[in-house]
Structure formats: structure tokens, C-alpha cells
Structure 1
Amino acid sequence: MLAAMCCAPVGDEQRGEDPTVLALNERVAELLGQEEALFLPSGTMCNQIAFLVHCRPGDEIIVAANAHVFGSEGAGASALAGAQFRPIATADGLFTGADAAAAIRAPRNRSPRSRVISVEQTANRGGGSVWPAAQLAEVAEVARAHGLAAHMDGARLPNAAVASGTSMADHARHYDSAWIDLSKGLGCPVGGVLAGSKAFIEEAWYWKHRLGGAMRQAGFLAAAGLYALDHNYERLAEDHDNARLFARLVVGAGGVGIFPAEVSTNILFLDLTNCVLDANAVAARLREHGIRLGVESPTRMRVVTHLDASAAQIETAARQLVRILEHP
């Protein structure tokens, strides 16, 4: 990847003259079944620009209550677009078309205007759960029927496509905007690519400049994305296998529980409610052995597998966790 970055042909990205950025945009637009795409510095910027294009102040975005855009992006939609969220309660981060329809506001001059339905594929805090393509299409159809935009936070869309054995376009083509993160499972140092219609991307360019996301010789970064799509996409299945391996090795140790019960991609959560040690204490003990797990709360930890952690390292980490939980 580094060699590809060093050798990339580059130009002025702001002027549309960087051939590597243009190639990445074209590639991702095709992969997501969209007309055009736009390379951006981060996935959060992809989400926020989408909301800025779709929304006006006072509008409302329908999302899962545990969605990343709702709880982990600094209230960006409220601060930047002036839009608020209408959350749908769901443990796995997925909801149905009927759930979305029930959350849409009846038109009244004293109510917020329902403007966007946003889904997250995979659902991070749902334990990396995968939206079935048919369910995604159903939700998008509800949005269209009510005159709303449909947006996909596709940070881990590649994981969902690999896990389900279907193309990314099968998941994203029904959406007015969708994106993939290059710095998650694909292993790039930076970047996300936002896709949509030609008119949507034209408007997104304005917000890219306003938010400071325009770059110059960005081809050095875009080359990493092209390399990742060629070399790191299919291997995402290894991360899924490693997450399941970790779950099998630790479940029940010292009272620990696993969510979801059946791991489908590269994310799982540990429930320490019945353990002697809390999450912060476990994390501190693990760091002594060079192992890092995320702490979500005193009783909840997040495990994410990725290309820098081999199956052997996953097994080592799991067995060390078991020792800590069983011999606190």
C-alpha cells in the first residue's frame, strides 16, 4: 500500500485534476451503484455533508437509537445542518420499513419536518449486524413514498457485502447517498468516499470546501484506497472468522457474556455484568500485555478485529482475557 501511495500520479484535487482521486471516485461510484462519488478526509465528514445536502434547519433525521451519527459524531447534524434526530429503539441497530414509516411526522406547521431516513451498514453498536439487502430496499422505498431522502452510513459496508455474499451495489443502489470508509477494515490511513447522484455530488462539493475538506495532491491518499479495494476487500472474511474465534474462546469465562450471540462480522461486545472486574480494570490489565479493547461502559467492552491482528494474535488476546476474568 505504501509503495502504491509513493508511486501515485497526482494533480490538483480541488480542480478535478488528480488522476488517482478521479479513478478512486469512479471506482467507488460503480461499486455502490451510484452516478458519482467524492473523496473526503473522513467518514464522519461523509455523513455530515450528506445531511447538509439533504436537510434544512428544523428538519428531522430518522435513525436507530444506537446509530453512530446519533451518538458518536459530536451532534454534528444539529450543529452544522440544524437538523435533529428521531431515534428508533433497536438492540441490533436494524429497523423495518414499518418502523421507519411510524417515525415519519405527519405534516404540521408546528412539527419538525421528517427529511431523511439514515441506516448504518453494518450497525456498529448492534454488534456489527448486517442489514439484509431486501430490508434496506424496503426502508428506502418507504423514504421515497413519503418524499424523504434515504442515506446509508456505509462505514463497514464492505464487511456487510463480504459477509452476505452480495455486492455493495446490492445494498446501496436504492439510497440517495451512501459511502464507504477506507480507514476501517480496508486498512487505509485516512479517508472515505461519498457517492450519490450527479446533482447530489455537485452540492456536496460546496460543503466539502466550506468544511475544509478540499485537498491538493490527494492522490497519494486515494492510491491507498485503490490498493485496498484490490487487495484488502475479500480478506475481510478473515476478520469475521477471527471475531467468531475470539467469541468462542471467551464466552462464559468468569461470567462474561457475548453480544451478539452469533457474531456475523468483525465486531462483538463483551457483557461484564456478572464478572468480578469492571471494564476499566479489565482494559488496564490487558494493556499490560499489549492488548487493547474498547471500553463502552463499566460493564461493556467492544472488540473489533482487523487486518493487523492475525488469528494467532486473536487467540493470544482471548486466552489472556480468559485468565484475567477467571483469576481476577
Structure 2
Amino acid sequence: MTIDLISDTVTKPTKGMLDAMMQAKVGDDVFQMDPTVNQLQEKAAKMFGMEAALFFPSGTMANQTAIKLHTQPGDLVIADKYAHIYNYESGGVAFNSGVTCKLIDGERGMFTASQIEEFAAVKPQIYLPFTKLICVENTTNKGGGACWDFSELEKIQKVAQKNNLVYHLDGARLFNALVAKKENPKQYGQLFDTISICLSKGLGAPIGSLLLGSKANIVKALRLRKLLGGGMRQVGFLAAAGIYALENNIERLAEDHRKAKEIATVLETCSYITKIEPVETNILIFYVNEKIGADNFINKMKEKNILLTPMGEGKIRIVTHLNYTNQMHEILLKELKNYQK
């Protein structure tokens, strides 16, 4: 048995999801004639109280489309130093949109409205980039699954509106935040100009993300998706998995959060652990002592068929998910308690 805790992207479709996929009615989505894709897009838009949505093969493409949608080459995007759009999207902000990032020194991937006011308020000058877009990520990946305080997001929206800036949410794991904080999707739909959500992480679909926004923005995004190579044909088979995920796999995210917190509780009793970052959702980041070392620890656990992720700077990441069973959980807790270098 392999216990794969590298990411929540490693999940496999359940029987119910596979059945839904195989029964999907499909058409050519490039011509917007796939009924299941259209159903998914309408369902997601309604869920968030937004006008429209567009299905993408990946969250990265959804985010990159949003950035290109809202900016021109030479513009500036405000984001946290931990932001996924900056750290984990292959330099796409520069390659695809020709923009630069002002990285904010936030806390676990989250900044405050006061931290960005001076950058948001910069008046156009010939020797400075024009600030056009504020991006936030909820939950924060590199920040260990941290959830933003909604009141702070509201304050940031006011900064955006005051300075005529666009506001985008990288919501790859937004549903984890919604469950953990007992929030409603419509709260976010009212706050942001565009939102990307991922179906292939905690929600368990094999592929797919959605970009939500106004009808006008989604019409523009349709062409940008094609430009980036994201036009797909009979993709309703995948969209059916997304519909199933939205209808069946949201509330169960609480189970992943519970398991992550239980792992943290065990690690707190282990003498080789030097630090555990706060656990709010399904991501746990911890550090082992220098004598053991992160790479050595990961390799030793791999020998026991337990797969973990190095995050750099001595960080080790565990991500709980749909396919991480109770049996796997008990094995992991036992191995962590009994670990010897």
C-alpha cells in the first residue's frame, strides 16, 4: 500500500464519479455545444452568484487567462510573495501577459489592505508600471492551507475600488476555506471580479478548473483560452466529474481537515519535530531537526511507502485528501510516532 500525501491532486475518481462521467452527454465544446460543460458552467456561476463561468483544463490556465484578461504588457500585479501565480505557474505572468509582480511580505501568503495601499494608489507615471490587478490566493498553498479573514478581503476590495483596480481570487482550494470558515460561495462572488476554482484537488475530479466572472469577461476569456491552447472538444466527460464533485464532495472536505489536525497533534509529541505551522485545512507544513534533515526524512518515509513533499527552506508538506483512507491514516500516525533516523 502506498500512502500518497504529496498533494490532493493525486486523487482518483470514485465509482460514483466514474459512472457520472460515462453517462455524460457530450458535444464539441469549442463550439460551446457540449451540454454537460454548459451545465457545469451554469451550475458554478449560480453557486457563486456570478454571471458566467468557463471550464479550463487547469487552474494555472484559468489564472493566467484572468491575468491576461485584466492587464496589458508592462502593467503591475499586486500579490503575496507566496502566491501561486508567481511561484508555481512557470513565470506565466511575464511570458503570457508581460506583466510584473509587486510581491507583498505577508503572513503565510496573506497580506493586509494597509500593506498594499501605497502600491495600489501609485499614479500613472512614464517610468513606473501601472498597477492594474490585485490577486489573492485562498487557501494559501505555500502558506500551509491558511484561510484569509473575510473582513480583510473586504477591506482589500475597498482599496481596489478606490484605485480602480481589478480584484482576482485564485481559489484553487477555496472550497476548503468555505468549509473551514463556514462561509458561502456567494460572499466571494460579490467580492471579486473574477474567481478561479479547482475541481481536481480536494473535490476529487480528475481534471478541470473554472473561471467565474461577468458575461463580458467570460466572453473575452473564451478567446484567451483558445489562444493558450485550452479549447477542448467532447470534454463533457470531464465536466460530469466536476458536477459530481460539486454535488457530493464539498462537505466531506471537513474529514480531510480533521485528519490533517490529527497528524499535527501527533507531530507535536515527536522530539525530532522543530516546528509545525498552524493547520486550518488539509495542508500541513512542518520541520524536522537539522540532524535528520528534510530530504533524509522524506526519503526514509518513502522507504515505508509514505510519500511527502519538500517545499524548500526545510519545509515538509503533507496534504490529506479523498483517497487518504482511515487505514492509511492509522499507519501514518504510527510511523510518525515510531520514526527513527
* TM-score, scaled to structure 2: 0.92
Matched letter for residue 333 of structure 2: A
User: Are the aligned partners of 2:264 and 2:276 in contact in 1 as well (CA < 8 Å)?
Assistant: no
- More deviation, 133-142/115-124: 133-142
Higher relative contact order (CA 8 A, sep 6+): 2
Identity %: 39
C-alpha distance 149-68 of structure 1, shift in aligned 2 (>3 A): same
Among 74, 80, 88, the residue aligned to 1:58: 74
1:47 aligned to 2:63? yes
Quote the residue 2:143 is aligned against: 126
Q: Quote how far apart the aligned CAs of 1:258 are.
A: 4.1
Alignment pair present for 1:175 and 2:192: yes
**Does 1:8 pair with 2:47?**
no
Deviation string, structure 1 residues 202-230 (Cα, Å, up to 9, x no partner): 11011111111011111000000000111
Contact kept? 1:152, 1:172, Cα under 8 Å: no
**1:307-318 paired onto structure 2 within 5 Å:** 307-318=322-333
Return the alpha-carbon distance in structure 2 between the equivalents of residues 44 and 20 of structure 1.
Answer: 22
Give the Cα separation in 2 of the matches to 1:298 and 1:123.
17
- Give the secondary structure class of the aligned counterpart of 2:44: helix
Taking the aligned partners of 1:269 and 1:257, their CA distance within structure 2 comes to: 11
Please report the RMSD computed on the Cα atoms of aligned residues, expressed in angstroms.
1.3
CA contact (8 A) 1:250 1:319 kept: no
Q: How far, CA to CA, are the matches of 2:35 and 2:263 in structure 1?
A: 41
- Partner of 1:269, secondary structure, is strand
Q: Assess if the C-alpha contact under 8 Å between 1:156 and 1:184 holds in 2.
A: yes
Match of residue 312 from structure 2: 297
| AA in 2 matched with 1:191 | G
Amino acid at match of 2:303: E
The alignment of Structure 1 onto Structure 2 pairs a total of residues equal to 324
Q: Give the superposition deviation at 1:298.
A: 5.8
Q: Deviations over 1:111-151 (max 9, x none)?
A: 01101000001011111111122221221221111011000
The residue that corresponds to 2:8 in the other structure is: none
Q: Does 1:117 align with 2:134?
A: yes
Alpha-carbon distance change, 126 to 172 in structure 1, aligned in 2, over 3 angstroms: farther
Q: How many Å separate the matches in 2 of 1:206 and 1:242?
A: 41
Residues of 2 paired with 1:265 and 1:48: CA distance?
25
Of 250-259 and 148-157, deviating more is 250-259
Please state whether the residue corresponding to 1:245 is helix, strand or coil: helix
Distance 2:63 2:311 in 1: 22
10-19 vs 150-159, which deviates more? 10-19
Instruction: Look up the equivalent residue of 2:99 and give its one-letter code.
Output: A
Q: Kindly indicate whether residue 294 of structure 2 is the aligned counterpart of residue 282 of structure 1.
A: no
Q: 1:265 aligns with which of 275, 278, 281?
A: 281
Provide closer, same or farther for how the CA distance between residues 66 and 7 of structure 1 changes in structure 2, counting only shifts above 3 A.
same
C-alpha distance in structure 1 between counterparts of 2:141 and 2:119, whole Å: 22
**Correspondence for 2:171 among 126, 129, 154:** 154
Instruction: Tell me, yes or no, if structure 1 residue 214 matches structure 2 residue 231.
Output: yes
Say whether the 8 Å CA contact 1:280–1:298 is kept in structure 2.
no
Residue 275 (structure 1) shift: 4.4
Return 5+ residue gaps in structure 1 as ranges. none
Distance 1:21 1:258 in 2: 44
Instruction: Measure, in 1, the Cα distance between the counterparts of 2:56 and 2:233.
Output: 12
Q: Secondary structure at the match of 2:307?
A: coil
Local SS of the residue matching 1:193? strand
Inter-CA distance 259–106: structure 2 relative to 1 (3 Å threshold):
farther
Q: Which moved more, 1:163-172 or 1:42-51?
A: 163-172
State the AA in 2 paired with 1:253. C
One-letter code aligned to 1:218 = V
Encode CA deviations 1:245-268: one digit per residue, 9 max, x unaligned. Answer: 11001125133144423x110111
- What are the Cα deviations for residues 74-94 of structure 1, in whole angstroms up to 9, with x where unaligned? 110101100010000023111
Which residue number corresponds to residue 86 of structure 2?
70
- Paired residue type of 2:260: A
Cα pair distance change 1:112/1:298, threshold 3 Å: closer
- Residue-by-residue CA offset, 1:262-289 (whole Å, 9 max, x unaligned): x1101110112x2421111111111111
Query: If the length of structure 1 is used for normalisation, what is the TM-score?
Result: 0.95
Residue 96 of structure 1 corresponds to which residue in structure 2? 112
Separation in 1, partners of 2:185, 2:268 = 32
